[in-house]
């Protein structure tokens, strides 16, 4: 565990109808970044109306794609510059899932600095003074709304780059916006938040506070994920998931992530496995691997007992076994089995070589080398 101050730069505005509070958070000219699905759901029109009622000038860019690449950020930046003609717009509002928020973050980084996204791989590469960003998530998963990284595909290779800028100044969490998520999005994004919470609780880079925030996020997800899947209109459960995803985002800002994310990225890049599904399906296997280290087993055991997954007096071994079983149950509840379908086991060697080069692997609580990754992939591939 490291001893560093907990970075929390994002104000959280939480509650039903919180969308109406966006106009009070921004200046009198706004560049709104969103995507066609959010427009179709009617959320963008609602936010535009709220802003215009508050006499805010709005320029809407609604072409943010899923899994944005460098060229998508540049297209957004062009639109921002055209809207800014004469005088730079000081506020960007991102309305959508992690992809729209990441596109907006990338746009803010390039507008503030220069160059291309590939220049900003790593932590805190650009201190974005202006334009400032307000994030309004419509999914409960990525936690992009409370952290400073934008995940952007590299031009040409498609390699996912974690580009480090400045976290949004505010995250507006309105559970009503998440009611329009289809079940498969609720499921995959929930698994992403779950994985963020579990990985951030134990990384090498964690602090006492980031581990506690991750644990809190897990507790909320553990108590409400099944409920949002069974009762998608339950606003209390939706609010808990949305809040938990944002807290998990805060936790990973400070803790970073682990081997489940290292394994998932190549699965998404080469086989199109949805990120949340990929991290969720490999997570129990990664936890079961990590607990071979005695000290790390104790960490997970405490995590399991603290969150009532295991009884207070359970042994470390039983507490960890209970945690892995609970994770498998949540993955099953989300509609996925223990095997990642559609990816042949023969791909394990190639995937392992790539997973070992992933940035997040270094933060995993135990070392994971190519041989370990090969074995882990063989366990989860069919």
Q: With binding defined as CB under 5 A, does residue 199 bind Zn ion?
A: no
Cβ-proximal residue to Zn ion, closest one: 192
Phi and psi dihedrals of 99, rounded to 5? -65, -45
The DSSP code sequence of 228-276 is HHH-TT-HHHHHHHHHHHHHHHHHHHHH---HHHHHHHHHHHHH---HH
Measured from the CB atom, the residue of 143 and 365 that comes closer to Zn ion is 143
- Distance set, CA 327 to CA 15, 84, 229 (Å): 28, 47, 15
> Shortest approach of Zn ion to residue 143 CB, angstroms?
8
How large is the greatest C-alpha to C-alpha distance in the chain, in angstroms? 66
- How many residues bind Zn ion (CB under 5 A)? The answer is 1
DSSP conformational letter for 363: G
> Shortest approach of Zn ion to residue 3 CB, angstroms?
26
Q: According to CB under 5 A, which one of 145, 192, 239, 253 is a site residue for Zn ion?
A: 192
Letters for 272-311 (x = contact with Zn ion by CB under 5 A, - = none) are ----------------------------------------
How are beta strands 57-61 and 91-96 bridged, if at all? unpaired
Stretch that binds Zn ion, among 25-33, 65-73, 144-152, 189-197 (CB under 5 A): 189-197
> Shortest approach of Zn ion to residue 256 CB, angstroms?
11
> Shortest approach of Zn ion to residue 189 CB, angstroms?
9
> Shortest approach of Zn ion to residue 146 CB, angstroms?
13
Stretch that binds Zn ion, among 184-192, 198-206, 290-298, 320-328 (CB under 5 A): 184-192
Letters for 245-274 (x = contact with Zn ion by CB under 5 A, - = none) are ------------------------------
Measured from the CB atom, the residue of 153 and 322 that comes closer to Zn ion is 153
> Shortest approach of Zn ion to residue 81 CB, angstroms?
31
The DSSP code sequence of 152-189 is EEPTTT--EEEEE----SEEEE-GGGGGG--HHHHHHH
Q: How many CB atoms lie within 10 A of CB 21?
A: 17
Question: Rounded to 10 degrees, what is the CA torsion of 364, 238, 43, 153?
Answer: 10
Do residues 174 and 17 lie in contact, with contact meaning Cβ atoms separated by under 8 Å?
Answer: yes
Stretch that binds Zn ion, among 82-90, 145-153, 192-200, 205-213 (CB under 5 A): 192-200
Q: What angle do CA 325, 339, 351 make, to 5 degrees?
A: 115
- Which residues touch 159 (CB under 8 Å, ≥6 apart)? 153, 269
Which residue in the block uniquely carries the two structure tokens 């809407």?
Answer: 60
Stretch that binds Zn ion, among 101-109, 191-199, 283-291, 358-366 (CB under 5 A): 191-199
Tokens read off for 78: 């062009």
Letters for 208-247 (x = contact with Zn ion by CB under 5 A, - = none) are ----------------------------------------
Measured from the CB atom, the residue of 56 and 268 that comes closer to Zn ion is 268
Binding site for Zn ion (CB under 5 A): 192
């Amino acid at each position: 565990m490291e001893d560093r101050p907990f970075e929390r730069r994002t104000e959280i505005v939480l509650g039903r109808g919180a969308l109406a509070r966006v106009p009070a958070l921004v200046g009198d000219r706004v560049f709104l970044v969103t995507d066609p699905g959010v427009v179709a759901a009617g959320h963008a029109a609602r936010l535009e109306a709220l802003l215009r009622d508050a006499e805010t000038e709005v320029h809407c860019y609604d072409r943010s794609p899923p899994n944005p690449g460098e060229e998508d950020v540049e297209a957004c930046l062009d639109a921002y510059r055209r809207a800014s003609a004469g005088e730079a717009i000081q506020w960007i509002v991102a309305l959508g899932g992690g992809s729209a928020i990441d596109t907006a973050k990338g746009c803010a980084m390039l507008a503030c600095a220069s160059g291309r996204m590939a220049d900003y791989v790593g932590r805190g590469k650009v201190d974005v003074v202006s334009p400032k960003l307000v994030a309004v998530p419509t999914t409960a998963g990525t936690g992009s709304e409370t952290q400073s990284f934008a995940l952007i595909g590299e031009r040409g290779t498609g390699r996912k780059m974690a580009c480090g800028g400045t976290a949004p100044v505010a995250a507006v969490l309105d559970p009503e916006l998440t009611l329009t998520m289809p079940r498969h999005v609720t499921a995959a994004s929930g698994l992403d938040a779950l994985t963020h919470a579990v990985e951030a609780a134990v990384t090498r880079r964690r602090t006492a506070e980031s581990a506690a925030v991750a644990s809190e996020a897990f507790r909320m997800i553990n108590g409400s994920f099944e409920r949002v899947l069974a009762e998608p209109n339950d606003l209390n459960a939706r609010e808990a998931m949305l809040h938990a995803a944002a807290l998990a985002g805060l936790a990973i800002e400070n803790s970073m992530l682990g081997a489940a994310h290292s394994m998932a990225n190549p699965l998404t890049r080469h086989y199109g496995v949805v990120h949340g599904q990929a991290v969720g399906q490999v997570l129990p296997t990664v936890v079961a691997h990590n607990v071979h280290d005695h000290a790390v087993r104790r960490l997970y055991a405490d995590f399991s007992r603290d969150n009532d997954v295991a009884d207070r007096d359970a042994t470390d071994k039983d507490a960890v076994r209970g945690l892995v079983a609970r994770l498998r149950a949540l993955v099953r509840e989300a509609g996925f089995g223990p095997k990642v379908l559609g990816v042949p086991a023969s791909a394990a060697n190639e995937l392992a070589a790539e997973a070992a080069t992933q940035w997040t692997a270094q933060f995993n609580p135990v070392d994971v080398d190519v041989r370990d990754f090969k074995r882990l992939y063989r366990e989860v591939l069919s």
